[in-house]
Amino acid sequence: MGELEGSYRVLQTPGTRLGAQFNAGISTLEPGQSLSGNMIGGSKSHGRGLQIRVQGLDDSQEFFDIDPKALGQALLSEVFHSGNLIESDYFGLEFQNMQMNWVWLEPTKPIMKQVRRPANTLFRLSVKFFPPDPGQLHEEYTRYLFSLQMKRDLMEGRLICTENTGALLASHLVQSEIGDYDDAADRDFLRMNKLLPYQEKVQERIMELHRRHLGQTPAESDFQILEIARKLEMYGVRFHPAADREGTKINLAVAHMGLQVFQGHTKINTFNWSKIRKLSFKRKRFLIKLHPEVHGPHEDTLEFLMASRDQCKIFWKICVEYHSFFRLLDQPQPKSKTMLFNRGSSFRYSGRTQKQLVEYVRENGAKRTPYQRRNSKIRMSSRSIATDVPKQVSGAAMLYLCNKFKQKNKHTAPYPQLSPFNSKGPLCLSPSFQMSTLSLPGQTPSPLQSPILSEVGSNARLEEEEEGRRKRYPTDKAYFIAKEILTTERTYLKDLEVITVWFRSAVIKDNAMPEGLMTLLFSNIDPIYEFHRGFLKELDQRLALWEGRSNAHVKGDYQRIGDVMLRNMCALKEFTGYLQKHDEVLTELEKATKRLKKLETVYKEFELQKVCYLPLNTFLLKPIQRLMHYKLILERLCKHYSPAHRDHDDCKEALKEVAEIATQLQSSLIRLENFQKLTELQRDLIGIENLTAPGREFIREGCLYKLTKKGLQQRMFFLFSDMLLYTSKGVTATNQFKVHGQLPLHGMIVEESENEWSVPHCFTIYSAQRTIVVAASSKVEMGKWIEDLNIAIDLAKKSQDKSIHPFPPHIFLPPPRPPPSGSSDEVSLEQESEDDMNSSHTSLDKQTHHRANTTMHVCWHRNTSVSMSDHSLAVENQLSGYLLRKFKNSNGWQKLWVVFTNFCLFFYKTHQDDFPLASLPLLGYTVSTPEESDSIHKEYVFKLQFKSHVYFFRAESEYTFERWMEVIKSAASTTGRMSLMWENEGTKSHTLT
């Protein structure tokens, strides 16, 4: 029959991406035979039983009598039942095989066929599936076991971290075991218990940190441990050694978002589940087949070589299980045995999916008996439902706050009776609460450590070339302004191609768009695209002459750009009619996607392609937004030139022409940007219909913490011209937010209430339906929300006729742009907590049907907000061009094509690339010039930093350096009529909130 091959397909249907059922190979069960029934039957006694030894996560050991013919599930069920483990599907039993590798016990196979001598084998209970957020674990006992897994991983050297982070984790482990700090007790405990391989070295630091945890309960300690651990690079990572096609040694791992590739302990790539079509192995080769691109049938297959076929198969099985657990909505059903011969593996995942597990716990969350921690006299509560990292607030204080809230509002709005599992059950109070500071989930250290981005040749040679180029090319500021027109035009043309080439190909391929809509869309955008192709050629030729790349002997008249701009800005006036139709195009496209299922499917699938790096309908706004860019750049040129300069008059006339068109289309652009944002939110929100109702305007989105009986709980708020929505991010396959409440603005009152509730940055929102108390992450954030809410309430009150546009167009327009140099008042920002160290998420690790790098998701994870004026300002400040990049501890510089748009940097190897290889969402980052300690001895370098993640970028001139600093700062300041300004002295720095 030849060599067996295992394969696992991720079907190319929208249903699969949303988690629909599919079969992974041929089942070992007969048609109609249930898995649970088969397992129960297998566990019946048929004589003398096996004595099997199982070690728990607390290192205790227990023996189980199991039938010799029993399936693995029989032992698993006994262990889970013995431990009263409700969320059991996160766990498994592992044992060492003949090659001394830890492997998982398979539920559907007899134990005797997996383990040579079961009676002499030690099985150990371990966490098998690591969710990205410990808030997804409902049971306090489950979180306790997860914290013990972190303890084991620390000691075994799997959970790699800095010594300071290791000491912080150890201090919480000590608090959870022996309670509050006591010098003698701490020293005795640390002498008797090994928590870290380097424990003696950091023992004093552990005790110092432990002293800070006074009053922290064991449950709170567990959550702190998981919050710190889940942000580490190596959280839940289990290495499987392999080699790539060039023979380079690497390690493969699997996580909730997909497959990961490590070089040493550094993650160099992630392949998201949404990008993988099929996983398979053949002999020693492990194969990842990615989805083909839209433009053709080519399928990109990645191949890795492992030490043996057995190791290959072990890793393949783990991948199958991880994909099924985290990505499917329902457990895969068995496939009937209709084939006489089979060359593929029959393995499939046999447990509940994460979604099924969450639903089961909610529906069957019976109270458990209290449990005792090993080595601890601290008794645990029967159930804790805290879903945020607790702060140092006592249980009495929490009860006082909740009772005070109920008394205050008993005559106004009924306080909702909340339950940890549904809206009707009893509420179990957490002893304390916290507003935690979060970073994006996932532990990617850098989106720029992709092996593709690293293929740049000699760093030394690159630096020599750059130095030579700097000396050879012009240094006049006008040249660099002209070059900015060229570089941004290149990006703009690529953005037009997303619609004219790529999206057209997708809808034609599936015959998904009605002919009338095809004509409306492409007859409007094709002529614009063709015009800009010609314009880009002219710009490229003029810059070549200016630089001396061709006809080097020709000087003088070619060192200008005004004549090219004037000629083309005059020609652009002919396209005003096309641009005015974009309103209709966007509206009709949205209507058609709601009406036609096939078009909606193609639309959503296309948004997942690499080439569609932003929400699709944002590309339809680009032509009008580009006019604004021309206007701003020409204003800069006119300001630079003296009136006597030979290029001044042409630039001034070109500015006049483009300003005239821009003025005509300004109101249309405001409507389009608002409509685009509403449609984007409609796709990302569950539980709200018709968000794009006429007259509704988007104002602000962001993260606030809502006071509930469970404490302060993270919610995403959306302010519109007529209502305020608040939502939570659930465990869904589509990365969407679920609406919890909808408050009309009519009659709403907003008041600061920090003193009343003793919660920092707290304010109360009174509405006709209910009263809610919320807290912002900082005083600045609170000010933004209160100001926008009051303006919106006031304007809604004045607008009696609902058909009238409730907002004058100027109310939520971007504020005047700040001066380039820091000359305004400073506003201090909150410091990150020590528990947030080593946390970041900078790449598209959670791409599903809803992008994880849209502003709403970044706001959620980085605890901030963004207004419509911020969106508009960010659109104005787009930029692209080549930059040299340097990591914090690396030598040499790497040249990358960088595009800045939508609060994000996108990285390409060259400007010809069709799609970005990595991205860096900037909210939360600071941008500054390097300090002395950074040892950067180059000109025009700026520094980007988010917590421990540092990047250095080097521009080619003073002008381009200032432009990059300016656009990143202005677009990310998210001011909304409240400025966050830079430091006046020394390092120029600004937090991108």
Q: Nearest 5°: phi and psi at 136?
A: -80, -10
Asked which of 23-32, 302-311, 783-792, 874-883 is least confident by mean pLDDT, the reply is 23-32
Taking CA atoms, 812 is separated from 698, 724, 791, 865, in Å, by 9, 16, 10, 15
Cα 338–chain centre separation: 43
Q: Which residue has the tokens 């087949």?
A: 289
pLDDT tens digits, residue range 336-360? 444 433 445 567 787 888 888 888 8
Which amino acid appears at position 185 of this protein? A
Q: What is the pLDDT of residue 660?
A: 92
pLDDT tens digits, residue range 665-678? 888 888 888 998 99
Contacting residues for 448 by C-beta, under 8 A, at least 6 apart: 885, 887, 896, 907, 918, 920, 951
Does the pLDDT at position 629 exceed 90?
yes
Q: What is the pLDDT of residue 74?
A: 93
Asked which of 88-102, 610-624, 822-836 is least confident by mean pLDDT, the reply is 822-836
Q: What is the DSSP letter of 110?
A: B
Which amino acid appears at position 581 of this protein? K
Q: What is the pLDDT of residue 889?
A: 63
Does the pLDDT at position 362 exceed 80?
no
What mean pLDDT is predicted for residues 796-825? 46
Asked which of 61-70, 230-239, 673-682, 728-737 is least confident by mean pLDDT, the reply is 728-737
Q: 796 and 746 in contact (C-beta within 8 Å)?
A: yes
Confidence label for 405 from pLDDT (cuts 50, 70 and 90): very low
What mean pLDDT is predicted for residues 536-541? 92
Confidence label for 845 from pLDDT (cuts 50, 70 and 90): very low
Q: What is the pLDDT of residue 9?
A: 54
pLDDT tens digits, residue range 723-767? 999 998 865 556 688 898 999 998 899 999 887 888 889 999 998
Q: Rounded to a whole number, what is the distance in angstroms from the first to the last CA of the chain?
A: 61
485 vs 26, more confident = 485
What mean pLDDT is predicted for residues 218-245? 90
Relative to beta strand 50-55, strand 122-127 is parallel
What ranges make up the beta strands (E) of 800-858?
Answer: none
What mean pLDDT is predicted for residues 389-417? 38
Q: What is the pLDDT of residue 372?
A: 60
Q: What is the pTM of this model?
A: 0.53
- The full set of domains in the chain, from first to last, is 50-127 (3.10.20.90), 134-230 (1.20.80.10), 239-331 (2.30.29.30), 477-685 (1.20.900.10), 687-800 (2.30.29.30), 878-972 (2.30.29.30)
Does the pLDDT at position 403 exceed 80?
no
Tell me the two tokens of residue 938. 């180059």
Taking CA atoms, 833 is separated from 181, 216, 435, 692, in Å, by 21, 16, 11, 39
Taking CA atoms, 389 is separated from 222, 224, 716, 833, in Å, by 9, 6, 17, 12
pLDDT tens digits, residue range 922-977? 887 888 999 888 888 899 999 988 877 888 999 999 999 999 998 888 655 543 33
Does the pLDDT at position 390 exceed 70?
no
What mean pLDDT is predicted for residues 540-547? 90
Confidence label for 509 from pLDDT (cuts 50, 70 and 90): confident
Q: What is the pLDDT of residue 371?
A: 59
Tell me the two tokens of residue 979. 């400025």
Q: What is the pLDDT of residue 125?
A: 95
**Nearest CA among 938, 992, 935 for reference residue 965:** 992
Mean pLDDT of the chain: 76
Asked which of 210-219, 228-237, 305-314, 434-443 is least confident by mean pLDDT, the reply is 434-443
Question: What whole-number distance in Å separates Cα of residue 892 and Cα of residue 884?
Answer: 9
55 vs 426, more confident = 55
Taking CA atoms, 432 is separated from 368, 408, 439, 482, 708, in Å, by 21, 21, 22, 59, 12
What mean pLDDT is predicted for residues 123-133? 92
Q: Which residue has the tokens 């109609």?
A: 32
Q: 866 and 974 in contact (C-beta within 8 Å)?
A: yes
Asked which of 463-467, 472-476, 684-688 is least confident by mean pLDDT, the reply is 463-467
Which residue pairs, CB below 8 angstroms and at least 24 apart, start in 869-872? 869/812, 869/813, 869/814, 869/815, 869/975, 869/976, 869/977, 870/814, 870/971, 870/973, 870/974, 870/975, 870/976, 871/673, 871/677, 872/670, 872/673, 872/813, 872/814
Asked which of 578-587, 608-617, 658-667, 853-862 is least confident by mean pLDDT, the reply is 853-862
Does the pLDDT at position 227 exceed 50?
yes
What mean pLDDT is predicted for residues 249-258? 92
Contacting residues for 509 by C-beta, under 8 A, at least 6 apart: 294
